[in-house]
Amino acid sequence: MFTELSASPKQVWGNKGGYYGRTVIIATGSMGRGQGVPGEERLVGLGVSYCATCDGAFFHERVVAAVGSSDEAAEEALFLTRFASKVHLICPTPELRAVGSLAAEIAHHPKIELRTSTRLREVLGADKVEAVRVADKSGAEETIPVEGAFIFLQGQKPITDFLGEQLPKSEAGCLAVDEMMQTAIPGVFAVGDVLCTHIKQAVIAAAEGARAGIAVQRYLSGREKLKPDWGA
54 is catalytic: yes
Extended beta strands in 146-227, E state:
148-151, 157-158, 188-190
Please state the length of the chain: 232
Instruction: Identify the pLDDT of residue 40.
Output: 93
Instruction: Identify the pLDDT of residue 13.
Output: 85
91 is catalytic: no
Alpha helices in the chain (DSSP H): 52-55, 71-80, 100-108, 202-220
Instruction: CATH 3.50.50.60 in the chain: give the residue spans.
Output: 2-32+156-220, 41-151
Architecture of domain 2-32+156-220: 3-Layer(bba) Sandwich (3.50)
In this structure, are residues 77 and 111 in contact, taking their beta carbons and an 8 Å threshold? no
CA 174 to chain centre: 12
Catalytic residue, from 54, 136, 161, 178: name it: 54
55 is catalytic: yes
Instruction: Identify the pLDDT of residue 106.
Output: 95
Q: What is the pLDDT along the chain (232 residues), one digit of tens a residue?
A: 678 999 999 999 876 788 999 999 999 887 666 568 999 989 998 999 988 887 899 999 999 999 999 888 999 999 999 999 999 999 999 999 888 889 999 999 999 999 999 999 999 999 999 999 999 999 999 999 999 999 988 666 788 888 989 999 987 788 999 999 999 999 999 999 899 876 667 788 899 999 999 999 999 998 656 666 665 5
Ramachandran category for residue 213: left, alpha or beta (phi over 0 → left; psi -120 to 50 → alpha): alpha
Q: For 41-151, CATH number?
A: 3.50.50.60
Give the number of other CB atoms < 10 A from CB of residue 155: 11
Give the number of other CB atoms < 10 A from CB of residue 199: 11
Distance, CA of 108 to CA of 129 (rounded, Å): 27
Distance, CA of 228 to CA of 211 (rounded, Å): 10
